[in-house]
Amino acid sequence: MSRVLINMLLFFVPFIIYALYVMAARRFGWTGAPEKTPHIWLVIAGMALVLLSLGLVAIFDGAQTGKEYVPARVEDGEIIPGGFR
C-alpha cells in the first residue's frame, strides 16, 4: 500500500510545484506568469516520474533473476517467511 501512496505523491509533485510557482508569481507580481494551466504537461511530467520510479525499483531492488518466489506459509503453527529460492 505504501508503494501506491509513494506513486501518487510522485504523480502530484509537478502539480504541487506548479501551484507553488503560481502562488509566488501572484504574491510577488512576477511578470510572465502563465495565463492558463498546462494540464497536459503536468500530467505527462507526473507520469514520467511514476514510470521512472517504477523502472528504478525494478533495476535496483536486489532480486535475483532466475529464482522462483515462494510465498510465506504456515507450517506447524509457525510462519515461514517468503522469499526467492
Residue-wise pLDDT tens for the chain (85 aa)?
688 999 999 999 999 999 999 889 888 888 776 778 899 999 999 999 999 999 998 888 877 778 888 999 999 999 999 988 8
Q: Which three cell numbers stand for residue 21?
A: 510557482
The answer to whether the CB of 46 falls within 8 A of the CB of 14 is yes
Give the bridge partners for 78, in sequence order: 75
pLDDT of residue 83: 86
Amino acid at 76: D
Q: What are the residue ranges spanned by the domains of the chain?
A: 2-84
pTM above 0.95, yes or no: no
DSSP 15: H
CA 65 to chain centre: 24
